[in-house]
């Protein structure tokens, strides 16, 4: 007998059938190249595992080539026979991959989720892979340091001499710090970085290392440094994991967004599954889960994030208001010039 | 087929192996050196000398070269001063533990370079063994800056090349005839004079061999300057890595790699020439 329940169930089944069919028909392996360590651990829990549950036939394999620049190098080297399907990397390097034809363009017709993304997330990749996470540069400090740094200008405090770990350019942390220092000094990096270089030269003799290895957070936790440059998401997570031994400061003078994009490798051997993974990674659920787990700001404007977690990301209104508008494509053009000035003026002042 | 031709067949596997893992990738490197780089870092296929001109005319390339040569020279000299007495002892000793002592001397070769460097960070750091000991003895009030600068890199590099130099010295001590030293002593020469006029001149070919090896290893060393230099020590090897993996500028990295290779070939040829002259 045709009951109302049966009719509704049949209707829902009909609507869901294509998606269910697609989920069931996807199979094989998706090779995801991105950052390892805590990023991989948390991304697996928040994004990869739910995707694999929704697509039981698909297995997501992580591979790493190191930094974003090393990743684009690896994809470039595999151009004739791509070994990866999806790559999550910094926008400064994905733009190189886009220009070299290493990644595919993504269309709203195939990826309706693109319509849910924040405008700046779409703009980051242009017609190619959009932003999947936002982060920002912070000053990471030893929680035991008294008094705590309250602003970027505090980096020049005499008591911090010999306790500072900075990542110099060409590392993007160094590029971001240059733009932030220029703004702190009342300038604009688009016009000149003279004021920033002058100020950073004063800081240089007190810098322990311009190349923190393995990173600034570890150097603070190991007692090698008391202050370092770092990324907000990792700093927040390390703070939680160590019971608050480090703190992250978003300087009131302003900070700079770091953007990770998600990219579909041209010639992917499992394109359908790779595309499904990208759509999942950009979806509201995955964005919410990853933000609440690791404090990267979401790029999906419709993701409903727990306010407590959101306040610790670059996406909270207060934090967003402090961001310096930086066009990474423009900075890339200036990178060699800035790099040379750091080497010849800033680091030279520290020798 | 003559015996010598049959004998040369033994070289074929190694030659094929080298062809596959060294010559073929080197050709790729050579090709990349002629590509161009767009304003935002994208590599543009081309046959252009633009990167060569820009890199070789850049004063920073000269600075890198001088830094590499200076660092390699100092590290090699320090390592030689330390390795020579150890090698001479190992060559001369008649102890039944000679084999074991030789293994101990070259033991650092069995440890990963990265692990060794992190060991040096623990020893030379502000709160490391050296500084805490000196502070405990009241010899210094503030920690000495022994890492993240040239001092740390030189110490780490000298240590890392020392085992190789010990092996090279042991291999080159072939002409060191003890009877000549005994003759000198029997004719009234003091131990120091015997060493200065007999032992040292006879060991010069071994010294040249070891110094050549140590110098080449120092020139191509990457891990030690990278991790112990704290971003202050710029040498050719670190710059090649930086250009290839941070700047994604493969053409510049390739030009610098070919430049370094040619420089090393010239230095090796010079070292061989000196070693041959000393052997005469």
Under 8 Å between Cβ of B218 and B67:
no
Other Cβ atoms within 10 Å of B29 Cβ, number = 15
Per the CB < 8 A criterion, the answer to whether B248 and B139 are in contact is no
Higher-scoring residue by pLDDT: A197, B39: A197
Number of neighbours of residue A148 by Cβ within 10 angstroms: 14
Residues of B whose CB is below 8 A from A72: 248
- Tell me which of A335, A340, A341, A349 to substitute to probe the interface with B (most B C-beta atoms closer than 10 Å): A335
pLDDT tens readout for residues B3-34: 778 888 888 999 999 888 888 888 999 999 99
CATH architecture type of domain A27-134+258-313: 3-Layer(aba) Sandwich (3.40)
CA distance A236 to B37: 37
Rounded CA gap, B205 and A347, in Å?
A: 41
The pLDDT value recorded for residue A240 is: 94
Distance, in Å, from the CA atom of B35 to the CA atom of B19, rounded to the nearest integer, reads 23
Q: Residue A270: how many CA atoms within 13 Å on its side-chain side?
A: 22
Nearest CA in chain B to A77: B28
**Strand ranges, E, within A220-316:** 227-231, 246-249, 257-264
A22 at interface of B, judged by CB pairs closer than 8 A: no
Which pLDDT belongs to residue B274? 82
Domain ranges of chain B: 60-279
Q: What is the DSSP letter of A260?
A: E
Angle between helices A328-341 and A172-184 (to 10 degrees): 90
For B41, name the nearest residue in chain A, comparing CA atoms only: A96
Predicted local confidence at residue A18, as pLDDT: 52
Local confidence band at B87 (pLDDT 50, 70, 90 cut-offs): very high
Nearest CB to A70; choose among B39, B125, B245: B245
pLDDT of A217: 96
Give the mean pLDDT of A58-73. Answer: 92
Q: Is the confidence at residue B175, as pLDDT, over 80?
A: no
Looking at every residue in chain A, the average pLDDT score rounds to 92
Q: Are B164 and B217 in contact (CB under 8 A)?
A: yes
The backbone torsions φ and ψ at residue A222, rounded to the nearest 5 degrees and listed phi first, read -90, -5
Class of domain A135-257+320-350: alpha beta
Whether A187 shows a pLDDT value over 70: the answer reads yes
Domain ranges for chain A, please list them. 27-134+258-313, 135-257+320-350
Is A135-257+320-350 the same fold as A27-134+258-313? Answer: yes
Interchain pair A96, B230: CB under 8 A: no
8 Å CB contact of A211 and B230: yes
Examine the pLDDT at B262 and tell me if it is beyond 80: yes
- Residue B247: the pLDDT is 87
Average pLDDT over every residue of B255-270: 92
| Closest C-alpha among A131, A182, A178, A175 to residue A315 | A131
Q: Which of A250, A244, A275, A282 is nearest to A122 (CA)?
A: A282
Percent of chain A whose predicted confidence (pLDDT) is above 90: 83
- Which tens digit of pLDDT belongs to each residue from B117-130? 999 998 998 889 99
Q: Does A161 touch chain B (CB under 8 A)?
A: no
**For testing contact with chain A, the best of B230, B242, B243 (most A CBs within 10 A):** B230
A156-169 confidence digits (pLDDT tens)? 999 999 999 999 99
Residues of B with CB under 8 A from a CB of A: 38-43, 60, 125-127, 148-150, 226-227, 229-232, 234, 242, 244-248, 250
Look at residue B195 in the predicted model and tell me its pLDDT.
92
DSSP of A125-160, one letter per residue? HTTS--EEEEEEEEEEEETT-SSPP-SGGGGG-GGG
* Nearest to A67, CA basis, from A195, A184, A187, A167: A167
Distance CA B15, CA B259 (A): 24
- Distance CA(A222)–CA(A12), nearest Å, equals 57
- Residue B264: Cβ within 10 Å count: 16
What's the CATH class of domain B60-279?
Answer: mainly alpha
Q: How far is CA A252 from CA A136, A249, A322, B125, in A?
A: 13, 9, 7, 33
Residue B273 has pLDDT above 90, yes or no: no
User: With a threshold of 0.95, does the pTM exceed it?
Assistant: no
CB contact under 8 A, B247 and A69: yes
Mean pLDDT for B148-156 is 95
The pLDDT of residue B25 is 86
């Amino acid at each position: 007998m045709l009951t109302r329940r049966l009719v509704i169930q049949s209707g829902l089944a009909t609507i869901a059938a294509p998606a269910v069919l697609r989920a069931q028909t996807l199979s094989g392996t998706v090779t995801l190249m991105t950052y390892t360590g805590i990023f991989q651990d948390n991304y697996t829990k928040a994004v990869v595992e739910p995707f694999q549950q929704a697509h039981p036939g698909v297995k997501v394999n992580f591979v790493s080539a190191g930094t974003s620049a090393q990743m684009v190098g690896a994809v470039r080297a595999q151009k004739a026979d791509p070994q990866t399907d999806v790559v999550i990397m910094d926008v400064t390097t994905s733009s190189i991959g886009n220009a070299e034809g290493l990644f595919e363009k993504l269309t709203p017709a195939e990826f309706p989720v693109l319509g849910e993304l924040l405008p700046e997330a779409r703009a980051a990749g242009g017609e190619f892979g959009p932003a999947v996470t936002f982060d920002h540069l912070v000053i990471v400090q030893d929680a035991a340091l008294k008094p705590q740094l309250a602003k970027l200008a505090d980096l020049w405090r005499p008591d911090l001499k010999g306790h500072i770990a900075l990542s110099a350019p060409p590392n993007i942390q160094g590029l971001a710090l240059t733009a932030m220092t220029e703004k702190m000094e009342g300038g604009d990096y688009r016009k000149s970085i003279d004021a920033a270089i002058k100020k950073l030269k004063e800081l240089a003799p007190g810098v322990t290392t311009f190349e923190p290895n393995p990173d600034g957070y570890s150097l603070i936790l190991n007692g090698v440094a008391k202050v370092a440059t770092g990324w907000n998401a990792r700093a927040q997570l390390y703070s939680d994991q160590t019971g608050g031994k480090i703190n992250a400061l978003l300087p009131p003078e302003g900070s700079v967004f770091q953007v990770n994009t998600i990219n579909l490798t041209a010639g992917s051997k499992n394109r359908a599954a790779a595309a499904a993974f990208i759509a999942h990674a950009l979806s509201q659920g995955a964005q919410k889960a990853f933000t609440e787990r690791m404090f990267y700001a979401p790029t999906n404007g419709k993701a409903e994030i727990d306010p407590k977690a959101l306040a610790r990301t670059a996406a909270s209104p207060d934090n967003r208001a402090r961001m310096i508008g930086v066009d990474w494509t423009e900075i890339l053009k200036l990178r060699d010039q800035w790099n040379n000035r750091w080497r010849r003026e800033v680091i030279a002042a520290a020798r | 087929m003559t015996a010598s031709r049959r004998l040369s067949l033994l070289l074929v596997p190694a030659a094929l192996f080298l062809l596959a893992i060294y010559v073929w990738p080197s050709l790729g490197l050579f090709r990349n050196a002629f590509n161009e780089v767009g304003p935002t870092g994208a590599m543009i296929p081309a046959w252009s000398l633009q990167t060569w001109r820009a890199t070789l005319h850049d004063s920073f390339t000269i600075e890198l070269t001088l830094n590499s040569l200076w660092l390699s020279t100092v590290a090699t000299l320090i390592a030689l001063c330390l390795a020579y007495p150890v090698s001479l002892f190992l060559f001369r000793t008649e102890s039944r533990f000679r084999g074991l002592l030789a293994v101990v001397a070259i033991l650092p070769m069995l440890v990963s370079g990265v692990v060794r460097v992190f060991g040096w960070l623990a020893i030379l750091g502000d709160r490391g063994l050296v500084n805490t000991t000196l502070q405990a003895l009241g010899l210094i009030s503030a920690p000495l800056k022994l890492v993240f600068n040239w001092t740390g890199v030189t110490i780490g590099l000298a240590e890392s090349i020392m085992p190789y130099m010990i092996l090279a010295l042991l291999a080159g001590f072939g002409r060191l005839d003890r009877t000549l030293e005994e003759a000198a002593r029997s004719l009234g020469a003091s131990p120091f004079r015997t060493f200065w006029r007999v032992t040292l001149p006879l060991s010069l070919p071994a010294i040249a061999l070891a110094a050549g090896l140590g110098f080449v290893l120092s020139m191509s060393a990457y891990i030690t300057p990278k991790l112990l230099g704290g971003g202050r020590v710029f040498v050719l090897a670190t710059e090649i890595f930086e250009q290839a993996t941070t700047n994604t500028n493969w053409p510049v990295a390739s030009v610098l790699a070919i430049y370094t290779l040619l420089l090393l070939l010239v230095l090796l040829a010079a070292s061989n020439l000196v070693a041959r002259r000393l052997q005469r």
